[in-house]
Amino acid sequence: MKAAVGARPAVAVGLVPAGIVALAAPALFVLENRWLGWLLLAVGVGVAALIERSAVRAKEPSLTRDLSLIAVGMLIVSVIQLEAELDDWSMVRFTLALGGAVVVPYVISRWVYRDRAIAFPWRGGGRWSRWQWAWLAAVLLLGWLILPYYFISSGVYMNWPVVDTPDLIARLFVGVGAVGIWDELFFICTCFVLLRRHFADLSANILQAIIFVSFLWELGYRAWGPALTIPFALLQALIFLKTRSLGYVVTVHLLFDAVVFAVLVHAHNPGMLDGLFLLSP
């Protein structure tokens, strides 16, 4: 989580190519226009290269390289459809695509660019403080209060397959948790960290949130879902900055996703978990 040499500006010319790369995410995952998204990725990296052609200094990280890592990850994710499915092949392709989107940029950063820009600091700042434990409790409470209303009143739970057998319920549990962990590995430890090498925390956070929320849209968090996913994406990056702990932000995410899982089971199986939530389908 080391910052770039010198001040990291909130506004800079480099935000133009970074913004183009970030805007590829809505093209890829909201509009689902792969060609437009791929074009924006190429243009964003290309513009960064033009800007840095005569301006980059030896001790500063390369924006072109860092945007290329983000672009590679987004490109790999974009080769599959992100609608939630629980059959064997769908789970395999999710594993390969999402896994590749984390592993490939990491490998390029470490062994091709040799700058170790991407890291996964599991423990970070050490033992959790009282506010960290309190926030975990708050996440569970907020999820319990908000998520049933969101999924059921909007009908977006139908974006996930029906889970009415023990096998499907178990697959959903694994899938929801695995994607939640991946979110933090890619959007926070890859996109946010890379962007933060060049821009102020606020600018880097907004850019990563655009990518984060766009992915969640195609995954199924539609209707008024961005009203939940935007603050969640921004808060996760802020918490990561404060705690320096991947383990903690993953724990936050998994607790939230545990409620998501329970709500999806509840919504698809009326009567099964009626005593757990205030709202029933």
What is the predicted pLDDT for the residue at 3?
47
What is the predicted pLDDT for the residue at 88?
96
- Pick from 135, 18, 29: which is nearest to 74 by CA? 29
Mean pLDDT of 117-146: 93
**Reported pTM:** 0.94
Q: Cα–Cα distance between 256 and 142 in angstroms, integer?
A: 9
Q: Cα–Cα distance between 91 and 108 in angstroms, integer?
A: 25
- Higher-pLDDT residue of 281 and 109 is 109
- Higher-pLDDT residue of 5 and 141 is 141
Q: Cα–Cα distance between 268 and 242 in angstroms, integer?
A: 38
State the pLDDT confidence band at 4, using cuts at 50, 70 and 90.
Answer: very low
1-15, 131-145, 168-182: which range is least confident on average? 1-15
State the pLDDT confidence band at 278, using cuts at 50, 70 and 90.
Answer: confident
The two structure tokens encoding residue 143: 């999820």
Residues 6+ apart with CB under 8 A from 107: none
Mean pLDDT of 148-162: 96
Q: Cα–Cα distance between 114 and 172 in angstroms, integer?
A: 38
Geometric angle at alpha carbon 179, from 228 and 126, rounded to 5°: 85
State the pLDDT confidence band at 126, using cuts at 50, 70 and 90.
Answer: confident
What is the predicted pLDDT for the residue at 56?
52
Mean pLDDT of 219-240: 97
Q: Cα–Cα distance between 199 and 197 in angstroms, integer?
A: 6
| pLDDT exceeds cutoff 50 at 128 | yes
State the pLDDT confidence band at 60, using cuts at 50, 70 and 90.
Answer: confident
Mean of pLDDT over the chain: 93
Mean pLDDT of 97-108: 98
What is the predicted pLDDT for the residue at 5?
44
SS3 string, the chain, reads: CCCCCCCCCCCCCCHHHHHHHHHHHHHHHHCCCHHHHHHHHHHHHHHHHHHHCCCCCCCCCCHHHHHHHHHHHHHHHHCCCCCCCCCHHHHHHHHHHHHHHHHHHHHHHHHHCCCCCCCCCCCCCCCCCHHHHHHHHHHHHHHHHHHHHHHHHHCHHHHCCCCCCHHHHHHHHHHHHHHHHHHHHHHHHHHHHHHHCCCCHHHHHHHHHHHHHHHHHHHCCCCCCHHHHHHHHHHHHHHHHHHCCHHHHHHHHHHHHHHHHHHHHHHHCCCCCCCCCCCCC
For residue 137, CA distances in Å to 41, 131, 201 come to 39, 10, 26
What is the predicted pLDDT for the residue at 48?
97
The two structure tokens encoding residue 45: 């990296």
What is the predicted pLDDT for the residue at 124?
75
What is the predicted pLDDT for the residue at 7?
72
What is the predicted pLDDT for the residue at 149?
96
